[in-house]
Amino acid sequence: MCHAESVSRVPDPERREVARRALGSAGAAVAALSIALAAYAAHGAGDAQRDTLQLAAVLALVHGVALVVLAPRPGRRLGLLALGVLLLGTLLFAGSIALADLAGIAPRLAPVSGALLALGWLLHAIEAWRS
């Protein structure tokens, strides 16, 4: 493998910093939206929707805070990939659950997105072990 190929596959420190900032900012936005969803669940949702919407809000809040805390840590590509997978899984999981209750759309993405969340945490565990 030539030097140019190895450089193109490894994000430079500046790109990693941008990715960390984006993931941390996205985590904060997810946490903020989770508070709004929890407020709606508590004060605007019907009894049948309340528990499910609160579950979506809690999952989004926990993962949003995790992104805010973990994103600034220096890490390698695997760590950034883990956080990206966590973000995607959170958006799909909480979004799928919320849409199921709010719009009557079947939560078909919930199993896949739950697997993404588990994968994201496993990737983070590997990255933490290697660091």
Distance, in Å, from the CA atom of 124 to the CA atom of 112, rounded to the nearest integer, reads 18
Per-residue pLDDT, averaged over 85-105, amounts to 92
Q: Which two tokens stand for residue 83?
A: 């956080």
Per-residue pLDDT, averaged over 15-38, amounts to 96
Per-residue pLDDT, averaged over 8-30, amounts to 87
SS3 breakdown of the chain: % helix, strand, coil, rounded to 5?
85, 0, 15
* Cα angle, residue 112 at apex, residues 110 and 116 outer, rounded to 5°: 110
State the DSSP H helix or E strand holding residue 89, giving kind and residue range, or none if neither. helix 77-103
pLDDT digits (tens, 9 = 90+) for 49-90: 899 999 999 999 999 999 999 999 987 899 999 999 999 999
Specify the pTM.
0.87
